Structure 1
Amino acid sequence: MDRLQAMTAFVRVVETGSFSQAARRIGVGQPAISKTIAQLEDRLQVRLLIRSTHGLSPTDAGIRFYERAKTAIQEADEAELEAKGAGAGLSGRLRICAATTFARLMVIPRLPEFLAAHPDLDVDVVLDDRVIDLVSEGIDIALRMGDLADSSAVARRLATGRRSVVATPAYLAEHGVPQVPADIAAHQAVVYTQLGRSWTFRREGTEASVAVSGRVQFSAAEGIRAAVKADMGLAVTSDWMFWPELMSGEVARVLEDWELPNIDLWAVFPTGRLASAKARAFADFVERVVG
């Protein structure tokens, strides 16, 4: 039994919670995974997994072995890359997670450049606006915006983006262009639930907070985009979310002499492990194309 392959199989089983999902991720049959784990437990003379009708979960010994095995696998991968040299390029599979709209507008159109630079690397892109568990989903790097909910997360700031109040020219022609933040109170707002119904502006040391009203609110950026483009009102959003429309004039900024809090773009890596060379390379790529 190859020890590194066995550790890899065990780590994938713990991360996915099942033999079948681990087998699909590794690219082998489920019986092979089951046999490998049984051989590993026999070799170690300890139960690593508890099997029940609810699935698989690691024992106390399994948890300790998982943490060590995960680190060993990553260090082995890094050692191979170091031995091959930087010129050898990256290979294997990289799993990325990013918010749907941001990825669609800012990352995916430039992804061919990254793939061309690393022809032996395959990329899985998981599009999800939720904050998902990176370890259980087998994610190598997540792109997240705003404040990080987990202060212990292993993260790197890639860029800082501007927030603006935007609307379509048609909406502004019908309802007027706000000249000061207080004017927004008379407008329909397209509300992003994560930002709430209070928008805070700053200019030359002056701060103005406005309670906005709007008949619709959305939990995802795709809804904000669709509603604004349908002339439904004003929205606060990062410029990244409306980059094509801002460039074409389909959507316009208002109150440009007032500042809104900026938004940070982060590369977040699974807690408890060093970022892999593949994840670091992708973070460098996003920093270059977005910054």
Structure 2
Amino acid sequence: MNLARLEVFVNVCATGSFTRAADHLAITKSAASQHVAALERELGVQLLHRSTRRLTLTEAGTTLRDEARALLEQAQRLAERTRHQSAQLSGVLRLTSAEDTASWVAPVVAEYVRRHPGMHVEYRPSDRLLDLVAEGMDLSLRTTGRRDSSLRAVNLAVFDVWSVASPEYLHERGTPRRLADMASHAWIAFTPIPHPWTLQTRDGKESVRLQRTVSTSSTAGGRALALAGLGIYAAPRFVLEAEVAAGRLVRVLPNVKLPQVTLYAAWPGQGEPPKKTREFIELAKARRGSSF
């Protein structure tokens, strides 16, 4: 049954006039009359006795008026609840990122849950690139990895890359003073990057070919190897800054600007992400310029 027709009928009953009902609903008198006539055809009964002076309800019309009024009130309450639920997110957001990105992602998760207490976040840090559809994930945050054509992605943040080494390593091997000095140093390589790797400045004006001593498939592993004094290592700032602040690692060539890395968010499908996912993405974008 068409709710719009019921609304017109109830308003005609309340005002006793097609003209007044039409004015109240901001439609024409002709449209109001057509709605009621269509409702009568749909139900197969006459609802109103029409005369030149007034409208009166039939027995069927009286029954329908009372039931329709209650139905329209229920529909209004349902619409209000739906709008409220839309404004107040609820449900589960399933999120993944590389393990070394967790320190950057965690404050975003905390702020998301604070703003949306009805949401539960299932966060799965993993250095394995998960199949988002097969694993039932809503969102993936990555700085590296092959882009999947079945996913949509958006850039979230750009990070500086730092090169670091342990104080013990630098005491033993010396501290590089210029980029070319890196060629004679032990290098901790990142396995996904082809070897040998050419390290160049952000503007591309200087470069040096590096020789690996040891390699690792994770930035957390590279950080641990650097702490053990095995060589110089480069990674996004957020992976290294706590160790640098504590003095356990030392920045190498801090004035040399290395190429940056981009953190991007990817979600299944080719359309816009659901609201729960979009809200997290917007908070992650805001994380670039705020510590919350």
- Same fold flag (TM > 0.5): yes
Which residue identity lines up with residue 232 of structure 1 in the other structure?
L
Larger Rg: 2
Pick closer, same or farther for the CA change 1:110–1:270 going to 2, 3 Å. closer
Deviation at 1:80, TM superposition (A): 9.7
Which residue identity lines up with residue 105 of structure 2 in the other structure?
V
Give SS of 1:135's match.
helix
TM-score by length of 2: 0.65
Q: Are 1:84 and 2:120 an aligned pair?
A: no
Which residue identity lines up with residue 255 of structure 1 in the other structure?
L
Structure 2: how far apart are the matches of 1:81 and 1:171?
A: 63
Q: Partner residue of 2:261?
A: 263
Q: Partner residue of 2:92?
A: 93
Structure 2: how far apart are the matches of 1:148 and 1:81?
A: 42
Q: Partner residue of 2:21?
A: none
Q: Are 1:210 and 2:209 an aligned pair?
A: yes
Q: Are 1:119 and 2:140 an aligned pair?
A: no
Give SS of 2:286's match.
helix
Is this contact kept in 2: 1:181–1:210, CA < 8 A? no
Q: 1:178 aligns with which of 176, 179, 190?
A: 176
Which residue identity lines up with residue 94 of structure 2 in the other structure?
R
| Bigger Cα displacement from structure 2, 248-257 vs 155-164 | 248-257
Deviation at 1:272, TM superposition (A): 3.6
Is this contact kept in 1: 2:108–2:283, CA < 8 A? no
Is this contact kept in 2: 1:188–1:232, CA < 8 A? yes
Structure 2: how far apart are the matches of 1:221 and 1:203?
A: 20
Q: Partner residue of 1:225?
A: 223
Structure 1: how far apart are the matches of 2:202 and 2:282?
A: 33
Deviations 1:185-207 (A, max 9, x none): 22111111122431321266523
Structure 2: how far apart are the matches of 1:259 and 1:211?
A: 17
Deviations 1:163-215 (A, max 9, x none): 1211122221221111222222221111111224313212665231313231x
Q: Partner residue of 2:273?
A: 275
Equivalent runs, 1:43-82 vs 2, <5 Å: none
Pick closer, same or farther for the CA change 1:94–1:106 going to 2, 3 Å. same
Give SS of 2:201's match.
strand
Residue ranges of structure 2 left out of the alignment (5+ in a row)? 1-78
Structure 1: how far apart are the matches of 2:137 and 2:271?
A: 12
Q: 1:190 aligns with which of 174, 188, 191?
A: 188
| Bigger Cα displacement from structure 2, 174-183 vs 192-201 | 192-201
Deviation at 1:110, TM superposition (A): 5.1
Is this contact kept in 1: 2:182–2:208, CA < 8 A? no
Task: Count matched residues.
Answer: 210
Structure 2: how far apart are the matches of 1:117 and 1:234?
A: 41
Is this contact kept in 2: 1:185–1:213, CA < 8 A? no
Which residue identity lines up with residue 125 of structure 1 in the other structure?
Y
Give me the CA root mean square deviation.
Answer: 2.5
Pick closer, same or farther for the CA change 1:100–1:80 going to 2, 3 Å. farther
Q: Partner residue of 1:165?
A: 163
Deviations 1:77-134 (A, max 9, x none): xx99982277x4211000001101111x212255333212111100111121122211
Pick closer, same or farther for the CA change 1:168–1:120 going to 2, 3 Å. same
Residue ranges of structure 1 left out of the alignment (5+ in a row)? 1-78
Deviations 1:220-255 (A, max 9, x none): 122111111112210111112112123333222212
